[in-house]
Structure 1
Amino acid sequence: MADRLPRRDVNRPATLWWLGVHGGAGESTLAATVAGSRSAGHAWPTANDGSLSNVILVARSNANGLAAAQRAATEWASGSLPMVRLLGLVIVADSRGKLPKPLRDLAQVVSGGVPQVWQVPWVEDWRLGEPFDLDSAPKEVRVLAASVTALIAPTT
């Protein structure tokens, strides 16, 4: 139980919840990428009406962030969260440049436990607290937003 994320009843509607698996993951920033999405903070969102919550895990690319993502993915895979539809994991770069091999290897292992993975590069403007603008965001962020929007779009 110590390695599990808390659960939180949510009474505000959201088409998607960004779940930061540790502090500073970037879920609040990513919530601006998709209309109707919200930050879940650091707890699994459970809907009061029993409906499924669409969730994307968010973690930094450092060892602690990837380990936290692995624990969250393991918790979801255990079947203990039937009210959660896990769409994937966003790994947000924790610094400029290429990941060291041990972190690339760990990210690869963690990626095997979730339906989909997106990589977001280091964005200096976010570090400086600049307002988020999807039009000027890196290509990877725009692709993430389009991909996620397609995943949660209602089927007709």
Structure 2
Amino acid sequence: MDVADRLRQVDVSEMPTPTAWIVGVHGGSAETTLAHLVDGAVATGHRWPIGTPRAPMAPVVLVARTGMNDLRAAQRAVIEWASGATPVALAGLVLVADAPGRLPRPLTDLAQVIAGGVPRCWRMPWVEDWRMGGEVTADGAPKAAQAILAELHDVLTNPQ
């Protein structure tokens, strides 16, 4: 993988340990939105969190939109993680709908391939209120989004 295709890294060894590190794999990925929705999570600014080998690291959650270029960015990040180039505990990938409605078949197929390379994959639905500047809260989210956030919370607080 070309170095230009890799996510940068950020040293988090001096930072308090969050519930999870949220890593957006591209600009506009909803990294900040997801960090607001997951209690105690911290967005990394599209960078892999790197700590010291002696300190326990919080799990990492990748996040991407479901457009073709965005899914390809997610695929590159998953390949980078799977190669061992980034020593993080990956909890999974959240794919955030890039538009209302069903994904076209090519996007669904690629998302399915990418999901096969991560421990877990969640599909966050389109939330029009968030797009229009509404308050980003789990309580105000649609039921489908609340269910995903509850499962994500369980995975992050009860590692197996």
TM (normalized to structure 1)? 0.92
Figure out how many residues of one structure are paired with residues of the other and give that number.
Answer: 154
AA of the residue aligned to 1:80: A
- In 2, Cα distance between the equivalents of 1:94 and 1:65? 9
Structure-2 residue corresponding to 1:54: 59
- In 1, Cα distance between the equivalents of 2:27 and 2:16? 22
Structure-2 residue corresponding to 1:104: 108
TM (normalized to structure 2)? 0.90
**Pair 1:127-2:131 in alignment:** yes
AA of the residue aligned to 1:81: T
Contact preservation (8 Å) 2:17, 2:58: no
**Alignment RMSD (CA, Å):** 1.5
Structure-2 residue corresponding to 1:6: 8
Instruction: Between 118-127 and 129-138, report the one with greater CA deviation.
Output: 129-138
Structure 2, gaps ≥5 residues long: none
**Pair 1:118-2:122 in alignment:** yes
What is the percentage of aligned positions where both structures have the same residue?
50
Shift of 1:154: 5.2
AA of the residue aligned to 1:73: V
- In 2, Cα distance between the equivalents of 1:142 and 1:47? 31
Contact preservation (8 Å) 1:47, 1:53: no
Shift of 1:113: 0.8
Could you say which structure has the higher strand fraction?
Answer: 1
**Pair 1:71-2:76 in alignment:** yes
Match of 1:71, SS state, is helix
Shift of 1:65: 0.7
Shift of 1:89: 0.6
Contact preservation (8 Å) 1:46, 1:53: no
AA of the residue aligned to 2:48: W
Shift of 1:40: 1.4
